[in-house]
Amino acid sequence: MSLLAGCAGGNGAPSATSVPSPASSAAVPAASEAAPTSSPAPSLAPSASPAPSAEPPVSPETAETLYRMSDKSYRFEPIGSAAAKAVLLTFDDGPKEEAMLTQMLDTLDKHGAKAIFFVNGYRVEESPELLKLIQDRGQTVGNHSWDHIALSKKSKAEVQKQLGDVQDIVEKTIGERPEFFRPPHGAGGDVGKQVAKEEGMLYMTWSNGSLDWDLKATKKDPQLVIEQVLSQLHPGANILMHELQWTADGLDSLLTKLEEKGYGFIDPSTIELPDGAAGR
């Protein structure tokens, strides 16, 4: 299996449809933070949200919890008055290379967008400064296992080491343990789900695969990556991308098109975490 295969594998990616949920039609699209005339985001009073029983513990520094992920479809639904037309941007398999990463971070900043960078431990060990760069630029680090191996058939002890060692090196490098986990190849199995939960992380695959890793489908062509994402677009989409040059090259155009369609970008710090999550 080549490294480029990245998160390849259909297991985690249910065939996406573009049918908006009924709730989405009622929601005014979130004003893009990049829109020049955008007024401040409406205050979303947590007290007004019809929150079900499982509210995460709240600390004074906690960002408002605005989105809840389905643990079946890995899509996001708004809590309270948050906009339904929003997507989560994720970039897997880094951190790889400073110029490409900086290009992606600059584009995210240009659009006022936040994302999760799901990193592999062996790459963090090689380039700890790039992990710091992700954090310094205000983006979120997620755990993508140490070696980028399929975990579903591994022993629990092996999976604990694959996840735990990443938690440890990320904490050692940037002072925080990841709150989000994505299994390589979308293949975490029950053991991956269990260990992620024990580590206090939200387990996710994706609901919109960009196929940027698939050279037959997207041919290293930024335009084809954009078309893939748009063809699978839906409210609450969990968009899988990778630290790849053609993805970096298409990102500005992709984010512009998403904004033109009325989509905003989910800030990972506003995602509801499982009970007992350590971070917040």
Nearer to Zn ion, 30 or 241 (CB): 241
User: Could you say which of 94, 142, 184, 250 contacts Zn ion (CB under 5 A)?
Assistant: 184
- Is residue 183 at the binding interface for Zn ion, with CB under 5 A as the rule? no
With contacts defined by CB under 5 A, name the span among 2-10, 21-29, 56-64, 229-237 that binds Zn ion.
2-10
Place of tokens 């990616």: 13
Instruction: Show the tokens assigned to 252.
Output: 């500005």
Q: Which residue is associated with the tokens 């290379």?
A: 97
Residues 44-103 that bind Zn ion (CB under 5 A): 92-93
Q: Is 234 a catalytic residue?
A: no
Cβ at position 48, least distance to Zn ion in Å: 38
| Nearest of 154, 164, 218 to residue 187 by alpha carbon | 154
> Which is closer to Zn ion, CB of 146 or CB of 263?
146
Rounded CA separation 121/207 (Å): 24
Site mask for Zn ion (CB under 5 A), range 5-24, x = bound: -xx-----------------
Report the distance separating Cα 114 and Cα 89, nearest Å: 7
Catalytic residue among 92, 93, 165, 267: 92
Judged by CB under 5 A, the stretch of 21-29, 180-188, 193-201, 229-237 that binds Zn ion is 180-188
The C-alpha atoms of residue 218 and residue 216 are separated, in whole angstroms, by 6
x/- track of binding to Zn ion for residues 207-246 (CB under 5 A): ----------------------------------------
Closer CB to Zn ion, residue 165 or residue 272? 165
Site size toward Zn ion (CB under 5 A) is 5
Taking every pair of C-alpha atoms in the chain, what is the biggest distance, in angstroms?
53
List 111, 185, 234, 242, catalytic entry? 242
Has 136 been annotated as catalytic?
no
* Site residues, Zn ion (CB under 5 A): 6-7, 92-93, 184
Active-site positions? 92, 242
